[in-house]
Structure 1
């Protein structure tokens, strides 16, 4: 059995990437494929579900990578869901820097 590099599937994931899927030509006047971001995230959720099961079964030990990947999906979808042309300027990411959390 080959070892699947689950984490690699989440590299580069951001709200910008989701917008690129919705507006592949870069023309933000009208969505070209409004289902593409949702479809992509759904595929990633299936990957996360498989990865989670492997962690629970004990066949994988990369829980920290799993958590980072899960957080990247959450952040990208949150940012994408509440972002639109002319909308509010949101911080990216919403997480506080580690130094701020420690205070």
Structure 2
């Protein structure tokens, strides 16, 4: 049975990382876990490393899903890294809409 790696990345966004950091609390309330987003992303990078090894080894053929999940991690971490209360209003995602890239 094949591991559904892509399922581990469902719903990943800077919002989910922000939620991990503050646990549903307001950012100005004590009790946040500032390391939680980084720990989560590190776990996902381990998953991506295993998935990549299987793709390179030829035991999997879901490279498009891998790329989509890798891009989701990049985007979520980029957005989270530059997000703070009172910070700049950033577009999500940074990718251009399909109509502009076509």
The answer to whether the superposition gives a TM-score over 0.5 is yes
SS of residue in 1 equivalent to 2:93: coil
The RMSD of aligned alpha carbons is 0.9
The alignment covers a number of residue pairs equal to 101
The unaligned stretches of length 5 or more in structure 2 are: none
The unaligned stretches of length 5 or more in structure 1 are: none
* Partners of 2:92 and 2:99 in 1: CA distance: 16
More displaced 10-residue stretch of structure 1: 36-45 or 21-30: 21-30
1:96 is the counterpart of 2:89: no
Q: Could you tell me whether the CA contact under 8 Å between 1:22 and 1:31 is conserved in 2?
A: no
* Partners of 1:10 and 1:31 in 2: CA distance: 26
Matched with 2:10 is 11
1:37-48 to 2 correspondences below 5 Å: 37-48=37-48
Q: Could you tell me whether the CA contact under 8 Å between 2:25 and 2:32 is conserved in 1?
A: no
Matched with 1:23 is 22
Matched with 2:32 is 32
* Residue-by-residue CA offset, 1:62-83 (whole Å, 9 max, x unaligned): 0000000000000000000000
* Partners of 1:31 and 1:100 in 2: CA distance: 42
Deviation at 1:31, TM superposition (A): 5.8
